[in-house]
Amino acid sequence: MLFKKILVAIDRSPQSQVIFEQALELAQKQGSGLMLFHCLKWEAEAQGGPFIGTLADVGMYGSLHRLQRERLQNESEDARNWLRDYVKQATSKGVPTEFDCKIGSPNLQICDLAKAWGADLIVLGRRGHKGLSEILLGSVSNYVLHHAPCSVLVVQGITPPNVDMPAVAVHVNRKG
């Protein structure tokens, strides 16, 4: 199967470099383009919750909302600079690469971007949550596996220093 447009969903975990390298190697072999993607989460608890009643509460909510926007703006610019470093690595190896950074729910944003960009493959990592922790924390990779408009490559865990390639699981959606 030939993949021409590979969406690479990465976060700030140590596993991101492994995910990027796996996608870059695949893109080099197949002559593919890459879209690097990072999603910032909007944290509802940082919004200050509902305030009741007084003008002081309204003023406090406005201040908290402004601080949240400023924090997200700073994180977004930091993430864009981080993604630009990956773009430089890929383009230096002859792989056409672009990036995007959005705010929202990572699972939804990844699937939406894959559809809008016309991705043939999504490459992402898996943190390894199982059982109750996966239920409580959710699983971006599990959601993407079941809702992606294209094939999905899940990179499992971090590669130990003495192993060349990470273990991977591939799920191919054949929607038509």
Number of domains present in the structure of the chain: 1
Which residues, in sequence order, are bridge partners of residue 121?
6, 151
For residue 64, give the amino acid letter: L
Residue 48 lies in a domain: yes
The model's pTM is 0.76
Residue 68 lies in a domain: yes
Provide the mean pLDDT of the chain.
82
Residue 118 lies in a domain: yes
Q: Are 35 and 62 spatial neighbours (Cβ–Cβ below 8 Å)? A: no
Q: What is the CATH number of the domain that holds 32?
A: 3.40.50.620
**How many percent of the chain have pLDDT more than 90?**
56
Residue 96 lies in a domain: yes
DSSP string, 69-94: HHHHHHHHHHHHHHHHHHHHHHHHTT
pLDDT of residue 163: 43
16 pLDDT more than 60: yes
Tokens 């002559």 label which residue?
Answer: 31
Query: Of residues 15 and 42, which shows the higher confidence score?
Result: 15
Query: Of residues 89 and 57, which shows the higher confidence score?
Result: 89
Confidence of residue 57 (pLDDT cuts 50, 70, 90): low
Q: Are 28 and 93 spatial neighbours (Cβ–Cβ below 8 Å)? A: yes
Residue 176 lies in a domain: no
The domain in which residue 114 lies consists of 5-171
**How many percent of the chain have pLDDT more than 70?**
71
Q: pLDDT (tens digit, 9 = 90+) per residue, 22-35?
A: 999 999 999 999 99
Q: Are 110 and 38 spatial neighbours (Cβ–Cβ below 8 Å)? A: no
Where b means 16+ CB within 10 Å and e means fewer, 88-100 reads eebeeeebebebb
DSSP string, the chain: ---SEEEEE--SSTHHHHHHHHHHHHHHHHT-EEEEEEEE---GGGGT----S-HHHHHHHHHHHHHHHHHHHHHHHHHHHHHHHHHHHHHHTT--EEEEEEES-HHHHHHHHHHHHT-SEEEEEE----HHHHHHH--HHHHHHHH-SSEEEEEESPPPTT-SS-EEEEE-----
Q: pLDDT (tens digit, 9 = 90+) per residue, 108-156?
A: 999 999 999 999 999 999 875 555 544 444 588 889 999 999 999 999 8
Q: pLDDT (tens digit, 9 = 90+) per residue, 94-108?
A: 999 999 999 999 999
Residue 126 lies in a domain: yes
